[in-house]
Amino acid sequence: MREENDNSKNPRPVPKASFTLKHYVAAFFVLVIIVMMLKGPTGAYVSSIFASTEYGLSLKTLTETAWTTRWYIGRFRGPLTDEDMIEKLRGKRAEFDSLAKAYYDNVAESRSYEAANKRLLAQLRSLGLWQIEPGGALLQPNFGNQAPTFTDQGVSFKILDHGAYPWWSFGRKNIKSYLYMPDIPPHPGSSSNPIDRLLSTGEYRLEASTDRPVRPILDLGCAIRQIDNHWFVQACDASTLIDIP
């Protein structure tokens, strides 16, 4: 009993919490992850959500928020395989052809591919596509000044689920899209063959599979797999294409 009383008068001191090397290492990695998320698509995603709510809540606002969220999540997972993309295009070939035609019709009218993106938003989303980007920089001379954004290198339709950027995977990653090559009038300075037109730029190379290319897809480069005379699967280095909500 006396021993119990002594213990009650002199309780054992509670050890103070102290940071160890493990704690500092864990805190450092948490900080790195936060910085990467702010530097990466998270910042652009959050900004786009705030921007979409400036005009108040509506069904359109909620719908756009949902699509932007899918675009954001699409960065964390791998893109569709070549086979999946080819199967999807063949199953909805009429819709894809209609979208490509509508794009060129809209650009001819508005002289702006940004305006075409907005006008064709519903068609893009119905096919699981995010946005449209013109192809290579070379202009087809036969178009002249009438439609300066028509390029003989086609146009890309980027898919929503396109895979991670380098800061998520700590390695090189690519953005996948459908590439459409339009018919162009014969011209002495440019081939009508879509493969010749693409390869002549030096930015593209033909592969049997863009998922498993023979050589890595280097900076600003693209690998393409031909589906038919107009449509290709395209995989480009992540730094090649602008990709913001």
Statement to judge: residues 64 and 83 lie in one domain:
no
Which pLDDT value is given to residue 168?
Answer: 54
Q: What is the DSSP string of 18-44?
A: ---HHHHHHHHHHHHHHHHHHHTHHHH
Mean confidence (pLDDT) of the chain: 75
pLDDT-based confidence at 153, cuts 50/70/90? low
Q: Are residues 67 and 135 in the same domain?
A: no
Specify the amino acid at residue 126: S
In a domain, 9, yes or no: yes
Look at residues 47, 74, 101 and tell me which one is the last residue of a structural domain: 74
**pTM greater than 0.85:** no
**Whether residue 124 sits in one domain with residue 225:** yes
User: Is 101 among the domain residues?
Assistant: yes
Q: Check whether residue 92 and residue 212 sit in a common domain.
A: yes
Question: Domain check: are 105 and 189 in the same one?
Answer: yes
Domain that holds residue 192: 78-237
What average pLDDT score do residues 169-198 get? 75
